[in-house]
Amino acid sequence: MVRESILLALVALPTSTLSLHTSPGLPFVINTWGGPFTAATDAAYLALINSATVSALDAVEIGCATCERNQCDGTVGFGGSPDESCETTLDAMIMDGTTMKSGAVAGLRRVKHAIAVARAVLHHTRHSLLVGDLATQFAVENGFVEENLSTEESKGRCEEWRARNCQANYRMNVEPDPSTSCGPYKPLPLDQSALAWAVAQNPEPPSHDTISMVAIHSSGAMAAGTSTNGASFKVPGRVGDGPIVGSGSYVDGDVGGCGATGDGDIMMRFLPCYQAVENLRRGMSPTEAAEDAVRRMLRKYPDISSGVVVVNKKGDHGAAASGWTFTYAYRGGEMNATAVVTVPPLTAKDEL
Ligand code: GLY
């Protein structure tokens, strides 16, 4: 008999993810990914160390802005992840762990400094999220420059994708067949099962994506933020997990913070960072909190690529991942360099 659901046993590989990563002391900065993303860790940490007036929110903005300027791995800032129309749009969010106020922009067009615009939403409005062209209008009103976010590289990537008949893409249940053809597409009657919708996956396996950062000031004040250019060849208008509070990142200064990266279309359905911080509140260690958040997604989406990094208010940290080998970077206390931790993926094993 076919069981209604597939039960999954989720097995953590015997790795350093299970070890305790104790705090090196405050101030402390942690973010998704090593490699080029460590410049962001250093920028945020050094800002906190070198100036008594730099807040945790400032540090998160400085760190994420560093990745936006450096176009970290092509997944943050201008000139990355062109959509079907070859346009780069940006998602960003920043959150204050003391007030729980947040500001975010989604589908931001023609403005490079997404995390700074998100912060302007936090400080200069009573809202939490502005989108699209009207977020651009708000940015311009607040002194940001409007400019083209495309580069020769992003235009070239898009042209190559179109030359490959727009493969792969995010369309489904449309004609012409999106697995062989470019659009424009028209919807087909929905004769597919709900499960077919549920298991839809990112058509282009991601590499690194998204900077999500948590900073702890030496006073203990905390902030978190996320910046990304989303998914390559997304349907224009698509917004990912980055600007969603509790998904891209989350912080409660009484407890801890979390940053996430991965397949945002799926992750935003689970609010993994909200879950992880609530797990901390209920007494889990940072690693346990991250693993539980990832397992909740793996149970429904065994192929999901995800990375979740968690820190408690003291700076003890841990992480979990699925679908890829994840890395995260941290620097705190009197560390003279950023450290990078490698996090092997959790695996999902069928129990039929
Ligand atoms: N995690 C980035 C995105 O899916 O938009």
68-107 residue pLDDT tens:
999 999 999 999 999 999 999 999 999 999 999 999 999 9
Contacts by 137-144, CB closer than 8 A, 24 or more apart:
139/105, 139/108, 139/111, 139/113, 140/111, 142/117, 144/111, 144/113, 144/116, 144/117, 144/120
pLDDT score of 10 more than 80: no
Q: Of 101, 66, 50, which is closest to residue 252 (Cα–Cα)?
A: 101
Residues 109-136: pLDDT tens digits? Answer: 999 999 999 999 999 999 999 999 999 9
Indicate whether 15 pLDDT > 70: no
- Evaluate whether 44 touches 62 at the Cβ level (below 8 Å): yes
User: What local confidence, expressed as pLDDT, does residue 209 receive?
Assistant: 81
Residue 168, burial from CB neighbour count under 10 angstroms (0-12, 13-18, 19+)? middle
Closest by CA to 82, choosing from 100, 60, 63, 109, is 109
CB of 261 closer than 6 angstroms to any ligand 1 atom:
yes
**What's the mean pLDDT when you consider all of the chain?**
91
Task: Answer with the residue of higher pLDDT: 228 or 14.
Answer: 228
Alpha-carbon separation of residue 48 from 36, 42, 64, 225 (angstroms): 20, 10, 14, 16
Least confidently predicted of 16-20, 133-137, 311-315: 16-20
Q: Give the pLDDT confidence score for residue 352 in this predicted structure.
A: 30
Q: Is 228 in the pocket of ligand 1 (CB under 6 A)?
A: yes
> Ligand 1 centre and the CA of 242: distance in Å?
6
Which of 199-203, 227-231, 344-348 is predicted with the least confidence, judged by mean pLDDT?
199-203
Cα separation, 136 vs 132, whole angstroms: 7
pLDDT at 36: 96
Q: Which two tokens stand for residue 21?
A: 């990563």
Are 63 and 213 spatial neighbours (Cβ–Cβ below 8 Å)?
yes
Is 262 touching ligand 1 by the criterion CB < 6 Å?
yes
Q: Cα–Cα distance between 200 and 295 in angstroms, integer?
A: 18
| pLDDT above 60: residue 16 | no
Q: Does residue 80's CB lie within 6 angstroms of at least one atom of ligand 1?
A: no
Is residue 62 scored above 80 in pLDDT?
yes
Q: Is the pLDDT of residue 339 over 90?
A: yes
What whole-number distance in Å separates Cα of residue 139 and Cα of residue 136?
5
* Rounded Cα gap, residues 21 and 121, in angstroms: 34
Element (H, E) at 343: strand 339-343
Q: Is 41 a catalytic residue?
A: no
- Judge whether residue 194 has pLDDT over 70: no
What share of the chain in percent tops pLDDT 90? 87
Question: How far away, in angstroms, is 3 Cα from ligand 1 center?
Answer: 32
Task: Tell me how far CA of residue 210 lies from CA of 172, 224, 310, in angstroms.
Answer: 25, 13, 15
Cα 167 to ligand 1 centre (Å):
19
- What does the pLDDT read at residue 206? 53
Inter-helix orientation angle 114-124/56-70, to 10°: 150
Give, in order, the Cα–Cα distances in Å from 157 to each of 76, 79, 167, 179, 266.
Answer: 16, 10, 12, 19, 25
Which member of 41, 98, 210, 287 is catalytic?
Answer: 210
pTM for this entry: 0.92
Residue owning the nearest CA to atom 4 of ligand 1: 264
pLDDT at 349: 67
* pLDDT (0 to 100) of residue 203: 53
Task: Confirm if 130 and 138 have CB atoms less than 8 A apart.
Answer: yes
pLDDT beyond 70 at 281: yes
d(Cα 249, Cα 94) in Å, to the nearest integer? Answer: 8
